[in-house]
Amino acid sequence: MWWMILAMLYIAFDFNYFIRVAFTIATVACSNRNLKMTDTITTYGLCTTQDIDMFIDHMNNARFLRELDFTRFHWYGRTAFWSAIKPLGGSAVQSSAMIRYRKKLPLFRPFRIETRLAWWDDKSLYFEHKFVTLFDDFVRAIAFSKQGVTGCDVRLAEIMDGFEECRDKPEQLEELRLWSQANEVSSQKLRKER
């Protein structure tokens, strides 16, 4: 009987995702949790049969974006940022992502994702993520994600000033600047359509 309930749960929900979330939280709890906000955080993965596309030989494009959830969980858990916004009632939500695929990530190939905080403004954090295969150190894809910080009564700039390493804000990367402009154009267009 229990196996039928488990099978129904597995069919009804993406059970692997929830197992991976639990595993990620446990891994973060056992990791170095004193990393600076500006440090690059590396996570590892393996392209499995759960990740492949219809050609059955490389990672599906959507799986790259899903991997970013877990890299951000690591970043939030291993830096002091989450501890700084949680008492303020804050949270972070994914508000935008951009990815460039350079070369397929083959089945059964191990890879790492190098995640770093690339920039921030008054409302959001911007991350850069590089997918790099271990056997040849080739950057298979590069992604940027925008995390909106919500629920805080304090401006994000004030929170960031609380971290010594963030007092000197980095220069905004050109691709982030252009992407932000494209997002703003899209937002304006959608507001006009209401």
In the chain the domains, ranked by start, together with CATH numbers, are 31-192 (3.10.129.10)
Q: What is the pLDDT of residue 1?
A: 82
pTM: 0.91
Identify the pLDDT of residue 127.
97
Q: Are 113 and 67 in contact (CB under 8 A)?
A: yes
Which residues does the chain have with pLDDT short of 50?
Answer: none
Q: How far apart are CA 144 and CA 123, in angstroms?
A: 16
**Identity of the amino acid at 67:** E
> In angstroms, rounded to a whole number, what is the distance separating the alpha carbons of residues 179 and 96?
10
Q: What angle do CA 74, 67, 115 make, to 5 degrees?
A: 50
Tokens found for residue 162:
């609380």
